[in-house]
A and B are shown apart, each in its own frame.
Chain A
Amino acid sequence: MSVERIGKIEEEAAAAIAGAGDTTELEEARVRFLGRKAELTGILRGISDLDPSERGEVGSAANRAREAIEALVAGRAGELEREELGRSLETDRLDVTLPGSPPRPVGHLHPVTRTRRLIEDVLVGLGYRVVEGPEVEHDYYNFTALNHPEGHPARMLQDTFYVEPSEHLDPSCGSGPMDVLLRTHTSPMQVRAMEDSPPPLFVIVPGKTYRRDSDATHSPMFHQVEGLAVGEGLTLADLKGTLLELLRALFGPDREVRMRPHFFPFTEPSVEFDVSCFRCGGQGELEGGERCGLCKGIGWIELGGAGMVDPNVFGFVSEHGYDPDTVTGFAFGFGVERIAMLRHGMGDLRFLFENDVRMLEQFS
């Protein structure tokens, strides 16, 4: 009798548990079938009163039934929780189209810094160290040791800002009105770097430079990157290969470099270098035959100056291991702003230094 009853209880319990529509109903069912006053609890409690021949059979049937009902309760509870969570999440909705609320606004590096870093990274990858030099400089480093003798007309090529003589300057400075200046190029650092380290030397010099000139394409202050490579057996072909790598990294893998002979006092031979125009692909005209405005129809864009280091420059640092008979070297230099403006299509150089946040925030 009891065993059948136990089977019946289990069936009733299973139906009640399956029928429980929420956790409250399920709890009611649990109390009804497993609580202190439940019939099955009563049976379990009364087992010791049973005839010993019945105890084993009824006891194990009752325990199995209790375990089965507990498992059903647990299973149904899990189902109900998932359903209820699902329902409550359903009503907890955000308007995901509202603007985000960032922890802080995002700042921006200046385009000149971005471009300078990019150039540095490319040349660092080619094996160059980055060195920096002073901007208030001795005439000696800016001109004399770069093979611009006193009275040489090449000194007139660059309109120079001079610094007023002062007792506050370093005592190594001369007291003449033209002994101290704002460097007109980053090239003075060529000489300083060679005084500092023997060859082989592979350095680049990023930094501010100054010329007394102001219009849309000339700013009294601008940034240059100078490269200097000195060692045994370096050639003009090595210079060309180096420029090609750099310009392809800056302007795209299909670019070509062109070197035109030129004159700089501190290199011999000297060249100016151009990159093939990235807008018209070097053709000088756009699709449809319109003249390319970027390269003005030439197909090439002028970028900077370069050349083999003049032996006279080595002469100024020969005691530091630079024997003009055994080492050769090349140097190159170009403007950072020009690269930045070309890459981003900007027109007026001076605008870069206005630091208008509406300009700064365009670059990331």
Chain B
Amino acid sequence: MRVPVSWLAEYCDPGLEPGDLARRLAMTGTEVERVSGRMGGDPGHFVIGRTLEVGPHPDADRLSVCEVDDGTGTRTIVCGAPNVAAGQSVVVALPGAVMPSGLEIGEAKLRGVLSSGMICSEAELGLGDEDDGILVLGDGPEPGTPATEVLSLDEPVLELEVTPNRPDCLSIYGVAREVHAVTGAELAEPPWDGWTDPGPGEVSELASVRIDDPELCPRFTLRVFTGVEVGESPAWLKDRLVSAGQRPINNVVDVTNYVMLLTGQPLHAFDLDRVPGGELVVRAAIEGEKVETLDGVERELPEGTVVVCDRDGPTAIAGIMGGASSEVSTGTTSVLLEVATWDGPGILKSSRELGLRSEASNRFEKGLHPALASRAQAIASRLLVEVCGGEAVPGMVDEGAGVPEKGSVRLGVGTAARVLGMEIPPATQEESLERLGFEVEAGEAGFSVLVPPDRAFDVTREIDLVEEVARVADLDAALPATLPATSGGGLSREQALRRTAEDAIVAAGFDEAVSWSFTSADSITTLGLDPTGDPRARPVAISNPLSEEQAVMRTTLLTSLVDAASRNLARGTGGVRLFESGRVYLPADGNVEAGGSFPGNRPAPALEPLMLGALASGALVPGDWRGDGVLADFFSLKGVLEQVAGSIGVSIEVVPGAEPFLHPGKAGRVLVDGQDLGWMGELHPSVGSAFGLGPSVAFEVGLDRLVAASPAGQESFVEVPSFPPVERDLAIVIPETVGASEIEAALRKAGGDLLEEVVLFDRYTGEQVGEGLCSLAFSLRFRAPDRTLSDEEVDPLWETIVESIESIGGTIRG
């Protein structure tokens, strides 16, 4: 909302610098985005000029060469505006002028023609948004007149950012009341004062309205003005509109816009002669109906859009935009002035469905009180007579459910202090509310407050009144800073363990990625997941994504990690070690507990398990001047995963397993206590190359589940052994197809409780052991908790061990 300070001052003038007023408003709840409109330099460099001759530029199709009378002589100005023509009154920025943008105007050759000065558009002058043509002034002030005498060039404009609960601040008078409340400066009487609704009269012979659905239209008032002369508005009116950011159109439309800006209540003028019989009907649009709106666009109306119809069908989209068929134009002599109240949510919905927003819809969608219609009729009725030469037909058609009583809300005497933690004296509370337009009656236990129609939707409860007295009370300066008594917070055990695991992978040399939760459907396809069986192939899809690259939610951290890795590798980092700790999003498919359940009565729509993923390519430990490093391969990454799990006391097991995106021979499932936590392995070369990666290893495990398996903090102490062990080494030759973990399991089973530790310390394949076989060397440690073990006790175990190795196809060597 653009609020020209001079217009505001007509109703309330606090005598503050605009910057100070802006700060004052910001501290009471009305954000001022900026103070604009003030010229950067001397406004005397802007004068009124008259275009004498306009001809084409010899070397540029879209430029015109204009001879302009600036009051002291004729100057040549090159102009690019399409609407420039001879005989126009225009604003000329003379050389030396500084535009609001900071641009300084000088003399310059444009395609070979010397241009001395500039003919300005509204936007260039900081007066509005109109930038597709120069500003043409209608009633022709004398050339040479300082532009400041005609336009508020040197006038500051407050650009307010109005929150959706305050449609009253989308009006000059509403802002004036706010300024009055927060500064105490006097507030002028409302501009609609003295008006009473005229009641029925002859107007009903000329026009009528029927409301088919009163829910959609709580009130519809109309008046008729005859003998109207449509033309340009007087300078004062155009100036007001331009400085408030509205483009002048003609005097009738300008009056409706002016009244809307002043009161916050939108109005709409119909050409009565283009409304057959003057009969209007308000109803919901039916499927397939169309209307051509004032902006010249033919629009198909979504079913349920509220429309104002004449006999031939929709002639305006209620509360959003008028129709071309009943538009007021130069030939109009009779005006039907509609001032109606529409259902806010309905306007919001229709405006969204149509993709059409307007000054009117912006106000209606926030909810306006039916009483406001009378205010707008009051001022517009006067102006249509004064400015447009019309004559008001006696009476006003007034349909709808009538104007509701003012709402009444009680404010307890101690309520504000209870909520704020700060006393505001009752007299101050009363004064604040009255300045804001509330009618206050003080009683024993508090106030009885009547809410003005401007605030009817925003203030309905006691707490709303607390907010009103709080914000006017210079809250920030007066409010103490206290701390509530709390009783012990903390991270949950799971959250603390998660941090430990993350810190462990950082300590293992990995950098943390935090990636988009979005990915493309394509990247999931690239992974080759089974679309029928694998839930990761059924992502949660966004219906209104910003791009195809961000159209679905990731179902695995791998897509994020390969993205980050390939971006880094493309930038020339020799290798990457990246991890991510974050959620993936999987179909719920009736499975409520797998993803970690969240608090609350309704289950989460999707499963969102926390995962820990890592990807490494190149060196895991880079080589240095002392020698080679450690290559990121299956076993070095497995070591990292073991270390991360070990940091929270969890041992993992990796068994052969497959994923379509992994090398079939270098892939495994990660198990903890037999439960599947995820996968690890080398990326399939074709997947790697699809993402621009060389040989890479990766894993992804459920972090929730890893943490759930942790005994951390719950371990019970086992006596440290005090008797010496018996150590023996064992070399076996066994087919390569037998997994090391299978052999270890056999050893442990055979060794029983006395076998304390099994360590594989050598593995060999090659000619010496024969094709398909490998040689493994284990060191075994036996120990009894209560006595020194003798060789004689270990010997029978040894025999069992040898048997068990033989039973899985191995032979003992040496």
A interface, CB within 8 angstroms of B: 98-99, 101, 103-110, 112-113, 117, 120, 123-138, 140-141, 149-154, 156-157, 161-164, 166, 168-173, 177, 180, 182, 189, 191-193, 195-197, 200, 202, 208, 210, 212, 214, 220-221, 229, 231, 233-238, 240-242, 244-245, 257-263, 268-271, 308, 310-311, 328, 352-358, 360-361
Contact with A along B520-548 (1 / 0, CB 8 A): 00000000000000000010111111100
- Whether B605 contacts A169 by the Cβ 8 Å rule is yes
- Whether A261 contacts B475 by the Cβ 8 Å rule is yes
A320 to chain B, nearest CB (A): 9
- A/B interface sample: 8 pairs, CB < 8 A: A106-B509, A109-B502, A124-B489, A124-B491, A125-B489, A136-B540, A237-B421, A358-B571
- Whether B506 contacts A107 by the Cβ 8 Å rule is yes
Q: How far is the CA of A305 from the CA of B520 in the complex (A)?
A: 33
Q: Which residues of B contact A156 (CB under 8 A)?
A: 164, 348, 352
A141-B602, A151-B348, A268-B464 known; A360 vs B512 contact (CB < 8 Å) = yes
Q: How far is the CA of A140 from the CA of B418 in the complex (A)?
A: 30
- Whether B512 contacts A107 by the Cβ 8 Å rule is yes
- Whether B599 contacts A193 by the Cβ 8 Å rule is yes
Contact of A357 among B486, B515, B576 (CB under 8 A): B576
Q: Which residues of B contact A191 (CB under 8 A)?
A: 600
Q: Which residues of A contact B470 (CB under 8 A)?
A: 236, 261, 269
Contact of B418 among A189, A235, A245, A271 (CB under 8 A): A235
Extra contacts, 17 of them, besides A135-B608, A268-B466 (Cβ < 8 A), are A107-B506, A107-B510, A109-B502, A113-B514, A133-B598, A136-B608, A161-B545, A192-B600, A192-B601, A235-B422, A236-B419, A238-B483, A242-B484, A259-B475, A262-B29, A328-B419, A357-B578
User: Residue B62 at the A interface, CB < 8 A?
Assistant: no
Q: How far is the CA of A271 from the CA of B475 in the complex (A)?
A: 10
Q: Which residues of B contact A268 (CB under 8 A)?
A: 463-464, 466-467
Q: Which residues of B contact A361 (CB under 8 A)?
A: 511
Q: How far is the CA of A294 from the CA of B242 in the complex (A)?
A: 34
User: Residue B696 at the A interface, CB < 8 A?
Assistant: no
Q: How far is the CA of A241 from the CA of B480 in the complex (A)?
A: 8
Q: Which residues of B contact A150 (CB under 8 A)?
A: 345
Q: Which residues of B contact A106 (CB under 8 A)?
A: 506-507, 509
Q: How far is the CA of A124 from the CA of B512 in the complex (A)?
A: 24
Q: Which residues of B contact A120 (CB under 8 A)?
A: 491
> Which of B36-44, B85-93, B139-147, B617-625 lines the interface with chain A?
B617-625
Grouping DSSP codes into helix (H, G, I), strand (E, B) and loop, the B interface class, with mixed when no group exceeds half, is loop
- Whether A353 contacts B507 by the Cβ 8 Å rule is no
User: Which residues in chain B, 328-346, are within 8 Å of chain A measured between CB atoms?
Assistant: 344-346
- Whether B509 contacts A127 by the Cβ 8 Å rule is no
B428 to chain A, nearest CB (A): 16
A269-B471, A311-B463 known; A168 vs B484 contact (CB < 8 Å) = no
Interface size class of B (residues with CB under 8 A): 35 or more
B interface, CB within 8 angstroms of A: 26-29, 31, 163-166, 344-346, 348-349, 352, 365-366, 418-422, 461, 463-464, 466-467, 470-471, 475-476, 479-484, 486-492, 495, 499, 502-503, 505-518, 538, 540-546, 550, 553, 564, 567-568, 571, 573, 576-579, 581-583, 585, 587-590, 592, 598-606, 608, 620-622, 624-626
A108-B506, A137-B605, A355-B567 known; A235 vs B420 contact (CB < 8 Å) = yes
A263-B29, A268-B463 known; A154 vs B576 contact (CB < 8 Å) = no
A267 to chain B, nearest CB (A): 9
Q: Which residues of A contact B598 (CB under 8 A)?
A: 132-134, 192
B30 to chain A, nearest CB (A): 9
- Whether B605 contacts A214 by the Cβ 8 Å rule is no
A107-B512, A135-B517 known; A169 vs B606 contact (CB < 8 Å) = yes
Q: How far is the CA of A82 from the CA of B502 in the complex (A)?
A: 49
Q: How far is the CA of A132 from the CA of B704 in the complex (A)?
A: 13
Q: How far is the CA of A172 from the CA of B597 in the complex (A)?
A: 14
A9 to chain B, nearest CB (A): 50
Q: Which residues of B contact A197 (CB under 8 A)?
A: 599
A129-B490, A236-B421, A355-B514 known; A261 vs B599 contact (CB < 8 Å) = no
- Whether B418 contacts A242 by the Cβ 8 Å rule is no
Q: How far is the CA of A101 from the CA of B397 in the complex (A)?
A: 91
Grouping DSSP codes into helix (H, G, I), strand (E, B) and loop, the A interface class, with mixed when no group exceeds half, is mixed
Q: How far is the CA of A182 from the CA of B517 in the complex (A)?
A: 10
Q: Which residues of A contact B418 (CB under 8 A)?
A: 233, 235, 328
The 8 nearest A-B residue pairs measured at CB: A151-B345, A127-B486, A235-B421, A237-B421, A192-B600, A168-B587, A261-B29, A196-B599
- Whether A107 contacts B621 by the Cβ 8 Å rule is no
Q: Which residues of A contact B349 (CB under 8 A)?
A: 151
- Whether B544 contacts A161 by the Cβ 8 Å rule is yes
- Whether B625 contacts A99 by the Cβ 8 Å rule is yes
Q: Which residues of A contact B490 (CB under 8 A)?
A: 124, 129-130
- Whether B166 contacts A263 by the Cβ 8 Å rule is yes
Q: How far is the CA of A196 from the CA of B597 in the complex (A)?
A: 12
B187 to chain A, nearest CB (A): 20
Q: Which residues of B contact A192 (CB under 8 A)?
A: 598-601
Q: How far is the CA of A271 from the CA of B26 in the complex (A)?
A: 11
- Whether B518 contacts A220 by the Cβ 8 Å rule is yes
Q: How far is the CA of A104 from the CA of B504 in the complex (A)?
A: 12
B378 to chain A, nearest CB (A): 27
Q: How far is the CA of A349 from the CA of B176 in the complex (A)?
A: 39
| Residue in A128, A189, A241, A328 with the greatest tally of chain B CB atoms within 10 Å | A241
A263-B166, A328-B418, A355-B578 known; A136 vs B475 contact (CB < 8 Å) = no
Q: How far is the CA of A112 from the CA of B513 in the complex (A)?
A: 10
Q: How far is the CA of A245 from the CA of B598 in the complex (A)?
A: 29
Q: Which residues of A contact B491 (CB under 8 A)?
A: 120, 124, 130
Q: Which residues of A contact B29 (CB under 8 A)?
A: 260-263
A124-B489, A182-B542, A261-B475 known; A166 vs B587 contact (CB < 8 Å) = yes
Q: Which residues of A contact B421 (CB under 8 A)?
A: 235-238
Q: How far is the CA of A80 from the CA of B311 in the complex (A)?
A: 124
- Whether B567 contacts A134 by the Cβ 8 Å rule is no
B460 to chain A, nearest CB (A): 10
Q: Which residues of B contact A263 (CB under 8 A)?
A: 29, 163-166
B351 to chain A, nearest CB (A): 10
Q: How far is the CA of A298 from the CA of B625 in the complex (A)?
A: 53
Q: How far is the CA of A52 from the CA of B31 in the complex (A)?
A: 121
Contact of A129 among B345, B492, B499 (CB under 8 A): B492
Contact of A105 among B582, B583, B621 (CB under 8 A): B621
Q: How far is the CA of A344 from the CA of B489 in the complex (A)?
A: 28
Q: Which residues of B contact A126 (CB under 8 A)?
A: 483, 486, 489
A235-B420, A263-B166 known; A352 vs B344 contact (CB < 8 Å) = no
Q: Which residues of A contact B514 (CB under 8 A)?
A: 110, 112-113, 352-353, 355
B134 to chain A, nearest CB (A): 31
Q: Which residues of A contact B164 (CB under 8 A)?
A: 152-154, 156-157, 263
- Whether A170 contacts B592 by the Cβ 8 Å rule is yes
Q: Which residues of A contact B479 (CB under 8 A)?
A: 236-237, 240, 259
A107 to chain B, nearest CB (A): 4
B149 to chain A, nearest CB (A): 33
- Whether A101 contacts B585 by the Cβ 8 Å rule is no
B490 to chain A, nearest CB (A): 6
- Whether B587 contacts A261 by the Cβ 8 Å rule is no
Q: Which residues of B contact A261 (CB under 8 A)?
A: 27-29, 467, 470-471, 475
Contact of A170 among B489, B601, B606 (CB under 8 A): B606
- Whether A355 contacts B568 by the Cβ 8 Å rule is yes
Q: Across the two chains, which residue of chain A brings its CB closest to B512?
A: A110
Q: Which residues of A contact B476 (CB under 8 A)?
A: 258-260
Q: Which residues of A contact B463 (CB under 8 A)?
A: 268-269, 308, 310-311
- Whether A98 contacts B541 by the Cβ 8 Å rule is no
A104-B621, A269-B470 known; A170 vs B604 contact (CB < 8 Å) = yes
- Whether B590 contacts A113 by the Cβ 8 Å rule is no
A169-B606, A361-B511 known; A221 vs B506 contact (CB < 8 Å) = no
- Whether A241 contacts B589 by the Cβ 8 Å rule is no
Contact of B346 among A151, A231, A356 (CB under 8 A): A151
